[in-house]
Amino acid sequence: MSRLVVMVGLGVLAVLASACAARTTGPTQLPVELFAGHVVRDDSGTWFTPCGAGGSERWWVTFVDAAVSQARTAPASDQLVSGGRSFVRWRASRTDERLVGPGGPALLVRDIIEIRSPGASDCGHAF
């Protein structure tokens, strides 16, 4: 087995392990952007579809920084519950090919700006 394969495998394990642990800080080298779209939580994780993607894109979500505690309290208002769908606006960092989640790109959510039940005009006036 080549050294590159081992290093990539260890990198993926590090990302997955860090996603499982509640953290107060996250990777700071990635740019932070505003995102809006829909999020679904199921047995395989939390998945985000950005506005404008037409349902064709799906990013694996992990919460870092302030979003850790925000995500923990969201189920109290019937948001981010397993099997449910919510509309979100949040500050997050997209990963590149160096850091991926299960099945594709990952989104490191740093701050939840808005989370609510989905509506018909969610993406029309997201920002």
24-66: pLDDT as tens digits: 344 557 889 999 999 998 888 889 999 987 767 888 898 988 8
- What's the pLDDT at 88? 93
pTM (two decimals) = 0.69
Minimum mean pLDDT among 11-15, 80-84, 107-111, 121-125: which range?
A: 11-15
Is the per-residue pLDDT at 117 higher than 70? yes
pLDDT in tens, 59-113: 889 898 888 988 888 888 878 888 888 999 999 998 876 666 676 778 999 999 9
pLDDT band at 16 (very low <50, low <70, confident <90, very high): very low
C-alpha–C-alpha distance, residues 57 and 40, integer Å = 13
Domains of the chain: 3-116 (2.40.50)
